Structure 1
Amino acid sequence: MNLESPKVTLDKTSEEAFNFLSQVENFESLMPENISKFEVLENDKFVFALKGMPEIVLKKKEELPHSKIVLGAAGGKLDFSLTSHILEISENQSEVQLSFQGEFNAMMAMMIKGPISKFIETLATNMKTAI
């Protein structure tokens, strides 16, 4: 299953956006209002939970300076990744799009597609004010 957030234009350089997103503690400011837990476990790993959902642990898996950051599931039964794609538009503007990739059976995919789409859209939207 592959899902993408809308593209968000930021009045920040791609380097500023990358630096913000590469620090996992900053994801707390991007989370939806219905977050019930957020905790940094290591400098590249955090756990979060939304009300009514199980806890999810994300770990930084890959970085390509100023253009891409990949967070992946750290443990648990589900294998997925959340990738931040950062594109420099001009000297002081960049564009960020989040993509979610995961391998799920058809029933699971049907159940989580809506909530995950809304979740990554919220993360992207909140970047406008957080970064």
Structure 2
Amino acid sequence: MTVIQNNAIINSSIHEVYNFLSDLNNHEQLMPENIYNWSSTADEARFTIKNMAKLALKVSQRIENKEIVCVPSEEAPFEVQLIWKVEELSPNETKATFVIEAQLNMMMKMMASGPLQKLVDHQVSKLKEKLG
């Protein structure tokens, strides 16, 4: 299992951060430019990654003010879970951690690790930019 992650301290309450992340409609704001054909509801998102793949994700688990887990809702190129974890540091400070767990063979790991790390870093940075 390949685990790729990053985190940031957000100057917002855990409730604000969790509510933003728990609605997949908001995730478009966190995506890099190589993502297009975005469509979403609160529970599902579909998009295309330029020169890579089409993905359809759905929320498989929500634990209020703790974590949101997304998994593919259709066949994906590899088994993957996207997990946002939130942790209250103070009433106006939240640690947000984005984790991608992927079942990658050696070849896929060599090809996908870099882009997946960039995606994680970009989304964490965008979240901090959006919410403080």
State how far apart, in whole Å, the 1-side matches of 2:14 and 2:29 are: 19
State how far apart, in whole Å, the 2-side matches of 1:32 and 1:104 are: 22
Alignment of 1:103-122 (within 5 A): 103-122=103-122
Q: How far is 1:52 from its partner?
A: 1.4
Q: Which amino acid aligns with 1:57?
A: A
Identity %: 26
3-state SS in 1 of match to 2:95: strand
Q: Which amino acid aligns with 1:3?
A: I
State how far apart, in whole Å, the 2-side matches of 1:53 and 1:85 are: 26
Alignment partner, residue 37 of structure 2: 37
Count of residues in correspondence between the two structures: 129
The answer for unaligned runs of 5 or more in structure 1 is none
Q: Which amino acid aligns with 2:62?
A: E
Alignment of 1:30-109 (within 5 A): 30-40=30-40, 42-77=41-76, 78-109=78-109
Poorly superposed stretches of 4+, deviation over 4 Å: none
TM-score scaled to structure 2, two decimals? 0.92
Q: Which amino acid aligns with 2:106?
A: A
3-state SS in 1 of match to 2:111: helix
3-state SS in 1 of match to 2:27: helix
Q: How far is 1:35 from its partner?
A: 2.0
TM-score scaled to structure 1, two decimals? 0.92
